[in-house]
């Protein structure tokens, strides 16, 4: 049952992260589901909250903005960005930050998140989440930038662990240690993507359990679930299939470590199923939290022709 935009389960959760609530179970707002959500009463939506990709709405004042207004009137919304480039050595993009703040003033998100990565250089956005060099110097650099962003936005920044496909010989610490120290130094929150942990752990050969156990649980305010693709020699973070068994096991561990529960979000960005099927997949999270591991398979091969991007409707503009 939904009360005031937050489910009973979510509302009764005792644990709060950095003063932020457990929003319950949500899905990413994707344009293929706009018709369904607009034609359906909010009481029938079946989700506790929605996560938007901020970039899809920064310059959108048309129908997408209209849809978002309706969503935000009935459910908590979280702004999830892909262009902050917090790890870049270039200056912070003040125009982007201004647009981010203006959108936040309009829709009043529960929080604002992005990724531990860099996305480009010299003002060019590669539209990819590029891996960080993990050194004492980069930690200090990113820490300064996180503080600047937090000061500008007037709230904690929530940073997600990205999936990665290479690491640097010059790195001096693990990604988990980097995130833990960054959170400690800046007070930022963490968005723990257990799928990304699984992808990176498989690609680089580290222990995903040790990674999750290294993170400061008190800073974790949200969890991402998704299904990656098997490319033979490595996994790719495609968000185009059901959550595999290995990721559900990490999800259960993450929930256990964050006693009381943390907001859960299912990401699905290619071969997006009908909304009802999305809800079926999301429903497995509740089972996983209660100790009943969901029935799930192994990671499947990458789908031919699938375009995996959460900003797909912006690409055609
Ligand atoms: Fe994610």
Percent of the chain surpassing pLDDT 90: 75
Distance 27 CA to ligand 1 centre (A): 11
Distance 267 CA to ligand 1 centre (A): 7
What's the average model confidence in pLDDT over 266-294?
93
Rg, C-alpha atoms of the chain:
18
- Binning pLDDT at 50, 70 and 90, where does residue 3 land? very low
Per-residue CA distances from 59 to 18, 56, 96, 100 (Å)? 30, 7, 10, 10
For residues 235 and 199, the answer to whether their CB atoms sit within 8 Å is: yes
| pLDDT at residue number 123 | 82
Percent of the chain surpassing pLDDT 70: 90
Could you tell me which CATH number the domain at 2-315 has?
3.20.20.150
What's the average model confidence in pLDDT over 145-168?
97
For residues 229 and 184, the answer to whether their CB atoms sit within 8 Å is: no
- Binning pLDDT at 50, 70 and 90, where does residue 52 land? very high
| pLDDT at residue number 309 | 61
Q: How far apart are CA 277 and CA 283, in angstroms?
A: 10
For residues 157 and 142, the answer to whether their CB atoms sit within 8 Å is: no
Q: How far is CA 39 from the centre of its chain?
A: 27
Give the three-state DSSP class for 141: helix
Distance 182 CA to ligand 1 centre (A): 19
For residues 64 and 56, the answer to whether their CB atoms sit within 8 Å is: yes
Q: How far apart are CA 262 and CA 240, in angstroms?
A: 23
Domains of the chain, residue spans:
2-315
Residue 13, pLDDT > 60, answer no
Q: How far apart are CA 18 and CA 2, in angstroms?
A: 24
Q: What DSSP state is assigned to residue 57?
A: T
- Tens of pLDDT, residues 113-155: 999 999 998 888 888 999 999 999 999 999 999 999 999 999 9
What's the average model confidence in pLDDT over 75-102?
96
- Tens of pLDDT, residues 248-263: 999 999 999 987 689 9
Distance 53 CA to ligand 1 centre (A): 11
Which has more pLDDT, 256 or 75? Answer: 75
Q: How far apart are CA 176 and CA 126, in angstroms?
A: 25
Per-residue CA distances from 138 to 83, 92, 127, 150 (Å)? 18, 15, 21, 18
Which has more pLDDT, 292 or 20? Answer: 20
Distance 128 CA to ligand 1 centre (A): 13
Give the three-state DSSP class for 77: strand
- Binning pLDDT at 50, 70 and 90, where does residue 314 land? low
Distance 35 CA to ligand 1 centre (A): 24
For residues 255 and 223, the answer to whether their CB atoms sit within 8 Å is: yes
Residue 210, pLDDT > 60, answer yes
| pLDDT at residue number 251 | 96
């Amino acid at each position: 049952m939904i009360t005031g935009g937050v489910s009973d389960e979510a509302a009764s959760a005792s644990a709060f992260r950095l003063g932020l609530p457990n929003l319950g179970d949500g899905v990413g707002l994707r344009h293929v589901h706009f018709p369904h959500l607009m034609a359906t009463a909010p009481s029938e939506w079946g989700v506790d909250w929605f996560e938007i990709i901020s970039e899809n709405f920064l310059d959108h004042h048309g129908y997408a903005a209209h849809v978002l207004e309706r969503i935000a009137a009935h459910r908590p919304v979280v702004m999830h960005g892909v262009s902050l480039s917090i790890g870049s050595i270039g200056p912070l993009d003040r125009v982007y930050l201004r647009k981010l703040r203006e959108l936040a003033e309009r829709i009043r998100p529960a929080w604002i998140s992005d990724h531990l990565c860099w996305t480009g250089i010299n003002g060019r956005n590669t539209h990819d989440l590029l891996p960080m060099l993990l050194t004492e110097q980069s930690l200090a650099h990113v820490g300064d930038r996180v503080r600047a962003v937090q000061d500008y936005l007037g709230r904690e920044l929530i940073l997600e662990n990205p999936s990665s496909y290479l690491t640097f010989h010059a790195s001096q610490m693990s990604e988990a240690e980097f995130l833990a120290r960054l959170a400690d130094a800046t007070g930022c929150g963490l968005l723990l993507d257990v799928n990304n942990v699984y992808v990176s752990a498989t690609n680089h050969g580290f222990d995903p359990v040790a990674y999750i156990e290294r993170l400061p649980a008190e800073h974790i305010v949200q969890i991402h679930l998704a299904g990656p693709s098997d490319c033979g020699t490595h996994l790719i973070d495609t968000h185009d299939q059901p959550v595999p068994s290995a990721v559900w096991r990490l999800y259960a561990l993450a929930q256990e470590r964050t006693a009381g529960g943390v907001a859960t979000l299912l990401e699905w960005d290619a071969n997006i199923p009908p909304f009802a099927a999305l809800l079926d997949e999301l429903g497995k999270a509740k089972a996983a939290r209660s100790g009943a591991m969901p029935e799930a398979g192994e990671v499947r091969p990458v789908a031919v022709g699938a375009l995996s991007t959460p900003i797909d409707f912006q690409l055609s503009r």
